[in-house]
Structure 1
């Protein structure tokens, strides 16, 4: 009997995510293509600066659009993560009337915004894979790992989004600080540069970043056609356990008072 409410809640999250996905660009001529336009323009600027002007040589540099492929594999997941964190910070406040009136767990509203962002990620990543094939990168069996890696990233994002959303309910300045933190976080993540390009002592600091091993696994699977490295798997597993534990603790300590604070 306990599984039925869980299935109902999952169905509710999926329905809300699909509705948000469909309504975000409803009525526009280009529809969901607008979602891809912004990151594509950003990637074009980065590619022009780093590959054409600065002549940076990155992994897969032997392929056409080598830097662009490397950047897409990291920037599209980052975009989903950062959007989820920004929206997740205010998820409880935006849905205050529903949380107060509906007998559903408040954390589902964070799951909703994260899932919506990851639907857009799937669309953008499909474009990246097509570009990869067009550039001469062969389809590999390791591409089958993409959904698993996305699931891990979703867990990361949901746990962090839940924590930030809960804290923001108590301290509203947190939501305003999130975009600033994300700007710094992006440059502390090997997205526009390879981790090998920084000093070795700084590489160790970057490896503390929970996103670093996830993006490395994603690039290995899509661009290099190889299984994730053991140290990336180990770090990812450790971070998954830590983030789930922190999110569970935060919900138990702060979640019970969310309705009263909205």
Structure 2
């Protein structure tokens, strides 16, 4: 048996003027949150599930909010403002209705593969890693090491000659082939993954426009467009 979270009354504010996600609460009692915070609340806090429905043409399985609300109401104790009954089965509770709405909109706003990536990042409260470290030159090979350091492999590329009092001297010209890590293509790929993720959040944000939540009010805030730039 499963109990539904938060049905029947808006959850109490945890602190004065601050809601569940630590953001300001408006006069209507709704917490003002960004689309990223809303996704992280739904997947990390409420443990909402993103499921694929091959038969239903992409409708998210387990995200029928109306059905779950009716099930929760059927379990009501009958007390005013209560649509809950204590779950004594040891099972898990269902996500809040707002979380169900977020999952449903995510599923319909972006392709399935993108929705899975967004959901997994939200579940761990993370974002794609765009900063993969400063570029540096690394030797293409190694020829061993001494007691102090590793020794890079070198190649002979020419010869120089010069005269001294003792006669002509010949010396080999050697170079150490290097490569740049991470490469420009790796840096570009990491930044592209970040921008794709941000673009997906924009699509979800657009899909959530006009939705009235029980606990939240969606803001226009989005992650930085280019965090690797000084302008952000």
TM-score by length of 2: 0.28
Higher Rg: 2
TM-score by length of 1: 0.26
Instruction: Give 1 or 2: higher strand fraction.
Output: 2
